[in-house]
Structures are given as C-alpha cells and as structure tokens.
A = this chain, B = another copy of it.
Amino acid sequence: MTSQKPITLRDVALLAGVSQSAVSRTFTPGASVAATTRIRVQDAARMLGYRPNAIARTLTTRRSRMIGVVVSYMQSQFYPLVIEKLSQALRHHGYQVLLFISDRNESGRPDLDDKLQDVMQYQVDGLVLLSVTVSLALALECQSTGVPVVLLNCEAPVNGVSSVASDNVEGGRLAARALIDAGCRRIAYIAGVENALTQIERQRGFLQTLGQSGVELFGRAVGNYSYDGARRAARELCTVHTRPDGIFVANDHMAIAVMDTLRSELGLSVPQDVAIVGFDNVPQSAWSAYGLTTIEQDAGQLVRTTVEVLLQGIDSQSLPTREAIVPVRLIRRQTV
C-alpha cells in the first residue's frame, strides 16, 4: 500500500544516467557540477521523491548535525522559553535538537550519566546542559570523547568545560540592594534546590550585599524551586510572631507561589506588608496578577552566547574552553 523501499542516491543516479558522485555533489553546496547535469539530477530526484539520508551522511562525515539538549525540569516558565529559542537558533545553523528531559527523581543527584549514554550513542556534535547537576564522571567522559559541552547555568565539576551563565551573583546583590532601598528591615531568603548553581550564586551575592550593608539575614527557608515547596517556605517564614518585611525568592516560579500564599492564606499584601523580589523575569502571564520586582535573566542573550560557544567548540577541534557570564538587571513590573 505504501512504498517501503527508500530512494537512494543510486536510484537517482540511474534515472539521471550519471554516477552516484554526481548526485552527491548536486546535493553538496559548493561542489563543482555542470549546470546541465545538476538539472538532470534535480529532475530525477524530484521524480523519485528522493530525500538525502542524514544518517548515512553522518556515518561518513562523522558529523551528525544534532545537538543534545538536556534539561532537568520544565516547571519554571523560563526553561521552555530557553529551549524554544535554542531550538530555533540551532536549526538556523543547520542543527537539530535531540531533547532529553531527565526524570523527576526524589534523590537530589540523578543518575543522569547512565541515561545520557543513550544520547551520546547518537553521535551528537555537541551537548547543552540546562541547569542540571552534572557529575564529574560525565564531564570527564565528554572531554575524552571530544564532544563540546556547554553548561548553561550549571556548575562545572571540572576545569576545561565551557559554560554560560547569568550573572547570578550580581543578581543576588541587586535583589538585596532593592530590598534595602525599599526600606525593608527584616529581610529573608527563600532558596531553590540547595546544590544548584543558580541557588548557590544568587544566595552568595544576596548575602554579600546584605553583609556589606550591615543587615543581618532575618530568616531562610528552602523552596526547592517548586511551587508547593515555596508555599511551605512562605508559611514557615511568615506565620511567626514577627515576620519578614522583605523576601528574596530564588526564582519567579517560587515568587508567584509566595505571593499567592501571602495573599490568600495570610491576608498580607505585596509589597505593602512584604516586599518580594524574584529572579528570571518570566512572561507577564505569570506575574500579572501581582506585579513583580525581579532580576531578569536575558534568555535571548543566554541562548545566543550558548550557540556561539558551542559552534565555536565544534568546528575548532582544539576545544577552546570558554566561560561567559551574561549580565542581569532589575526589573520592576507594575500590575497594570
């Protein structure tokens, strides 16, 4: 009922009355083919419905033109956005995305390594890791394989692997400054996943500026970058006798949860009773009910840099390790 035999170069060559090489060259941009043969080949190809086989091509060229993209979770609105931009940017450079979403597992440290073996078997030309905790073993393995890796907002477990990250430390500083300038006196922090790079750095910058300003941290709770975790953290911090009047929440996804909780459960208003500063700058659809002061991660810049570093790593076999830091800035969102 449906044709099953794939059409190959050879088929086209036969019909066009030329050699396989001629056909191959016709489909290779910048090869030397006579105009006349090119046309004959293209006609034949069109008649047969020929489609080049990228897999076979990979075998000979040793380049799959596939990039493995690994992401830990899609909870926050931020990573789907990054993935979308990344996919489009890579495609415009002729690369496809082999997507890998790690399972949610309880134990902080996933066994990503084993699972990733599958992706590596597909001979990806490069790897982008999005905010996953990457083991030393994996990093070493990629290095020995010679596959360029770019860590996006991940901690590098070893030297010699490229990374791109927002200036999370500076973001933490900005958050602290904003709360202090707003006149807050009891400033608390709601943390993300404890060993995540974003969490660690944002907290560091935050505490640094707090310290330099002679302000003591009023309270701390862990939200684990999850909605429910943040709700619990908010309750924990705010159902005591004297509650904080300012909270830096490690990302917007949690910040929304905190604001929800303050308003609905505790009858508090933001920012009158408690000022909130988040991180990421997620789309308006997420914060518009409240307005939100947040530290913006520039997704576009992040992606552009990542692609640049990755492609550079790919075609220069010398694998020059690069570490790029993308600036962040404070954004004040008004609820319209």
Contacts and interface: CB of A to CB of B under 8 A. Distances in A.
Contact of A103 (B4, B59, B88): B88
B97 A98 contact: yes
A315 interface: no
Contact of A146 (B4, B51, B145): B4
B227 A256 contact: no
Contacts of A84: 73-74, 101
Given A256-B285, A283-B227, A289-B260, A101 B88 contact: yes
Nearest to A94: B118
Interface in A181-224: none
A265 B288 CA distance: 12
Contacts of A103: 88
Interface string A83-98: 1100110010000111
B98 A98 contact: yes
A77 interface: yes
A170 B227 CA distance: 31
Contact of A2 (B146, B253, B264, B290): B146
Interface in A87-134: 87-88, 91, 96-101, 103, 115, 117-123
Nearest to A56: B59
A336 interface: yes
B51 A121 contact: yes
A282 to B, nearest CB: 10
A52 interface: yes
A323 to B, nearest CB: 18
Given A49-B144, A87-B99, A264-B335, A123 B288 contact: no
Which among A77, A84, A141 has the highest number of chain B CB atoms within 10 Å? A84
Contact of A123 (B55, B75, B284, B317): B55
A96 B119 contact: yes
Given A118-B96, A143-B2, A55 B58 contact: yes
Contacts of A99: 69, 83, 87, 96-99
Given A74-B81, A285-B253, A123 B54 contact: yes
Which among A55, A56, A145 has the highest number of chain B CB atoms within 10 Å? A55
A257 B59 contact: no
Contacts of A264: 288, 335-336
Contacts of A284: 227
A272 interface: no
